Amino acid sequence: MGERFKLSLPVWGSAMDGVVDVDFAIAMGKLGGVAVLNLDGVHTRYQDSAPIIKRIAEADKSQVNALLKEVYREPVKPHLISERIKAIKAAGVPCAVSTIPARAGERAEVVQKAGADVLVVQGTVLTARHSSKSYHQLSFEDLVRACDIPVVVGNCVHYETALELMETGIAGILVGVGPGAACTTRGVLGVGVPQVTATADVAAARDEHMRRGGMRVAVITDGGMRIGADVCKAFASGADAVMIGTPLAGAEESASKGFNWGMATPDPNLPRGTRIHVGTKATLHEILMGPARVDDGSQNFAGALRSALGVCGARDIPEFQHVEMVIAPSITSEGKSFQQAQHVGMGKS
């Protein structure tokens, strides 16, 4: 995203309510990354969201979906959007917020006035030609013009779709449909593309966009990464940054202290996620920056990336984006180890 928004650590925390609250966003910002606050989540629906998070974390897995639908019926409070953003900015760290497309236009002014640095517009799949019978069609060109802050959109997995989105003036694009550990989109909708393929295709669209004279659009691989090796593969596939959720749910600082559920899990009509138990694994610093206390790749992502660059002879991430790769993931099991182990979501069969 050029000079408009730069991170010393190219890692974004996914806008998951069980992971990112104000305190977590501050902690991650101090480490050089950015954690995205979900404006459609419990933290903007309840003045004190901690008891709600605790109820979800402690619910029996047979009852958790009904509980999620119940607690997410509470309406979002506009004043809480401003309060949360101001609290993060008061700590002197970057603030990124996420909204569903249907509310992006009306919230753009609010989040800018409150001091947010980035507006993320996120749905299961977004296109530049999105249409809906239930709400006014969102124009990304109009939204970008209305914002003095970078606009990041997602999600996307397709070259031509990504190229069209980039031509609207967005600053970043999220890559991935269904790879996240708490997501069941691939099982519910049958839609998804392995992350390496998706990242490579969207990165190719970025390069073509630049060849045509456009600005560089940040490609952010979103989901499906559990360990340092996965993070490294995302960058090698062409990503400029990664967005992770479940690994951060295991941080001592996470909102739920060891649980995670997707943004579409509480959907009242067609849930596309499940709650998973990760457990508390380490501090956020240990997960992102080290030093690692284990040998399974689940800690010190930054160190893994630096070492991978060195092993591959790359001096920086742009060089690393051009290394050769051979990858063959499974479309139904990628990133789903927690669901399989706990027999929830796509791991029931």
**Which tokens belong to 40?**
């459609």
Interatomic CA distance for residues 297 and 138, integer angstroms:
40
Q: Which amino acid is at 246?
A: T
What end-to-end distance do the CA atoms of the chain give, in Å?
A: 42
Q: Which residues pair with 13 in a beta bridge?
A: 35, 244
Of residues 95, 147, 156, 183, which has the active-site annotation? 183
Burial 73-102 (b: 16+ CB within 10 A, else e): eeebeeebbbbbbebbbeeebbbbbbbbbe
Q: Where are the alpha helices (DSSP H) in the chain?
A: 22-30, 50-58, 64-71, 78-90, 101-114, 140-146, 159-166, 185-188, 195-211, 228-236, 246-249, 284-288, 301-311, 317-320, 337-342
Of residues 45, 186, 226, 272, which has the active-site annotation? 272
Q: Is 272 a catalytic residue?
A: yes
Backbone phi, psi, residue 70, to 5°: -65, -50
Q: Is 232 a catalytic residue?
A: no
Query: Pairing between strand 96-99 and 34-38?
Result: parallel
Q: How far is CA 50 from each of CA 42, 88, 175, 269, 308, rounded to the nearest angstrom?
A: 9, 17, 30, 26, 38
Residues with a known catalytic role: 183, 272
